[in-house]
Amino acid sequence: MEEMMIRSEKMSIAGQLAAGVAHEIRNPLTSLKGFIQLLQAGVDRKKEYYKIMIDEIEKMETITSELLFISKPMTDNKQKESIAEMIRDVTELLKPQARLKGITFEWEQSTDVLVHCDRSQIKQVLINLTKNAIEAMEDEGTIHIQVHTSDRQVVIDVIDQGPGISEEIIHKLGEPFFTTKQNGTGLGLMITKQILDRHNAKLDISQNADKGSTFSIVFQKAADY
């Protein structure tokens, strides 16, 4: 009985996800079809239309690659990994995107802690949070990444200077396809939470006293640490 219930619950989540995917893919497809029909009829604004069409295709590409990431059976390869190294890799990767908006990263390079984790998964989490931080900010500003530890926890804060998060949407963050962005997929935080679950870690979200928000990855130190 219990197993049945768990199974049917799983089905409904798969069903929800499928409905979401269908919806997210159908919109760009409908738009593409419309533009192809316009082009077929022979119009002048070809360049403009091609650009919109490419944007729509890119959106579908992003959605499908993020979904593939989710559907991959996640095999954990957990080892003691240097947090400083992971932050360095991720900030190097995202520097060009940040620079385009005049955003710089600031973090304490000397702080280092080892955490028992799957390196590529935790890098993915850092990428998702840091990308969101970049996207949330207007031109110019600094994203601070801070690491601190206590007896029981290791915490990585990604601190932005964006608009912060309003009360109305805070409980929706991490729901599949919840996005407030024109070209968002609404999958980043869902993947983030899924990965953190696998690490017995959690995501904390808070408003900064001055401006913006802080997304914190909170690892529990293992007993054998």
- Mutual angle of helices 119-136 and 83-100, in 10-degree steps: 30
Interaction of residue 216 with ligand ADP, rule CB under 6 A: no
181 binds, among Mg ion, ligand ADP, none (CB under 5 to 8 A by kind): ligand ADP
Q: Would you state the structure tokens that stand for residue 10, as one six-digit string?
A: 């799983």
Which is nearer to ligand ADP, 47 or 171 (by Cβ)? 171
Span of 15-23, 43-51, 114-122, 171-179 interacting with ligand ADP by CB under 6 A: 171-179
Distance CA 192, CA 12 (A): 21
The contact mask relative to ligand ADP for 14-53 (x = CB under 6 A, - = no) is: ----------------------------------------
Give residue 42's region: left, alpha or beta (phi > 0; psi -120 to 50): left
Question: Applying CB under 6 A, what is the total number of residues that bind ligand ADP?
Answer: 19
Q: Which stretch binds ligand ADP (CB under 6 A): 91-99, 114-122, 139-147, 187-195?
A: 187-195
**Which region among 13-21, 45-53, 98-106, 173-181 touches ligand ADP (by CB under 6 A)?**
173-181
- Closest by CA to 112, choosing from 85, 90, 93, is 85
- Angle made by CA atoms 124, 89, 61, in degrees to the nearest 5: 40
List the one residue from 91, 121, 130, 132 that touches Mg ion (CB under 5 A).
Answer: 132
Q: What is the rounded distance in angstroms from the CA atom of residue 76 to the CA atom of residue 83?
A: 17
Unique residue bearing structure tokens 């996207």: 135
- Write out the H or E segment, with its range, that includes residue 171: none
Dihedral of alpha carbons 165, 177, 191, 87, sign: negative
Q: Judged by CB under 6 A, does residue 98 bind ligand ADP?
A: no
Q: Which stretch binds Mg ion (CB under 5 A): 146-154, 155-163, 180-188, 199-207?
A: 180-188
In angstroms, what is the minimal distance from the CB of 215 to Mg ion?
11
Of 103, 185, 199, 203, which lies in the binding site for ligand ADP, with binding defined by CB under 6 A?
Answer: 185
192 binds Mg ion (CB under 5 A): no
20: contact with Mg ion by CB under 5 A: no
* Of 196, 213, 216, 217, the one binding ligand ADP by CB under 6 A: 213
With binding defined as CB under 6 A, does residue 69 bind ligand ADP?
no
Burial 60-96 (b: 16+ CB within 10 A, else e): beebeebbeeeeeeeeeeeeebebbebbeebbeebee
Residue at token pair 């995202």: 94
For Mg ion, the binding residues (CB under 5 A) are: 132, 188
